[in-house]
Structures are given as C-alpha cells and as structure tokens.
Amino acid sequence: MRKSRLSWYKQSRLIELFEAGTTARLAAQLVGVHRNTAVFYFHRLREIIYYHDEEAALLEGEIEADESYFGGQRKGKRGRGAAGKVPVFGLLKRNGKVYVVMIPDSRSQTLIPIIREKVKPDSIIYTDAYKSYDVLDFSEFKHYRINHSQRFADRMNHINGIENFWSQAKRHLRQFNGIPRSHFHLFLKECEWRFNHSDPLFRLKQLKQWGRDEMA
C-alpha cells in the first residue's frame, strides 16, 4: 500500500478524528488539509480495517440472525432490495461479536449457506418470522422465531441484539452524505469492527499501529 505524504502528526490527527466518527469534510478543516486528502485517507483506513478483518472463529451458542436494508429514498418490499437499497445480512452471538455481509437478495438460497458457513451446528438460532428462515426448522440448528406482528420479544426469544446493531450502524452511516455502492462494503465492515471492538482506546491504538505500518 502506497505511503502517505502527510506528516505523521497530521496522520495521527486524522486517525483520531476517524475513530471519533468525524466526517472527512470536518476532519479536513480541523487538521488543515484539503478535503480530498481527508476523504482519501479515511478511505485508506477503511480498506485497512477491511483487509485486516481476522477470520473469526465459527459463532456458536445463541445466535441472532436478521437482514436489513441500507440507503434508498423510500421503503421497498422485503426480500427484493427495492428502492435502491443495499440488502445486508447479519449474525450476532449474544454477548459476543457480530458478522455482517452484503447480499444480493434475502432468499433462503442466499441466507442459509451463510449461516451454515459461519455458525456451528447445534447452535440456537433466533430469527423473525420471515419465510426465508423456514428451512432452519429442519436443519442442524435449533430454531426459534419471533413474530413481530404479535410481539417483539418473548423472554429469550427475540432478535433485539442484531436489531440494536442495525440501529447503531445506520446512525453512524447516516452522517455521510451518500455512500457509493462500490464502497459500501468498507463502511459496513467499519461498523462491524467498531461493534466488535467497543473500547475506543483499543480502536485508536490499533488504527495508529496499522497507520504506521502501512501509510507512515
């Protein structure tokens, strides 16, 4: 990866502002660099996060599964990626880490192979009542579903954890005025990385180490 021409002081300031969730436009003003420089540097940081994403161990135990849709100007029909939205699938281990990935659609043929690749057999999987999850009733997993038209939680039967992640991710991404679809996977992986490493001091230390190794 090509080294940055910025001084390490300015790189450090950009890294600190990136970790704090600042937009590239504001970071450029605060550090005193051209907006395009900050945009490119932030893009490089997201690439580093994406390529350093460790191959996580299989999820096991109690797992929540759900799809969500990002972007677009209006609501679309579920399962068809309507209205220009980006469909995303997520798996969250309760009290653990989340795994998210862009998907072409939310059909059973798309979602179930991801679950089988990322979740250990005999795990408990919680979903909503969406039809694409029906096949889990006759699989190597124990499957519970919650019907959101009736209630959002029934004791341990809920998907509140992954829905909380969706809310956090959308809140973080909302501040960016339009994300190119070709770069969305980088922003999505950033949200996953932030969630899985909740300590901001750890995130800052890791980003600075990566920055020194690959861009300084």
- Which tens digits make up the pLDDT trace of 85-110? 899 999 999 999 999 999 999 999 99
Q: How confident is the model at residue 152 (pLDDT cuts 50, 70, 90)?
A: low
The residue extents of the domains of the chain are 8-51+179-214, 62-171
- 48-66: average pLDDT: 89
| pLDDT tens readout for residues 166-198 | 999 999 999 987 899 999 999 999 999 999 999
| pLDDT tens readout for residues 113-140 | 999 999 999 999 999 999 999 999 999 9
Q: How confident is the model at residue 80 (pLDDT cuts 50, 70, 90)?
A: very low
- Among 3.40.50.970, 3.30.420.10, 3.40.190.10, 3.90.1010.10, what is the CATH number of 62-171? 3.30.420.10
Instruction: Please give the mean pLDDT across all residues of the chain.
Output: 90
- 69-89: average pLDDT: 71
Side-by-side strand order, sheet with 124-128:
98-102, 86-93, 62-70, 124-128, 142-146
Q: How confident is the model at residue 199 (pLDDT cuts 50, 70, 90)?
A: very high
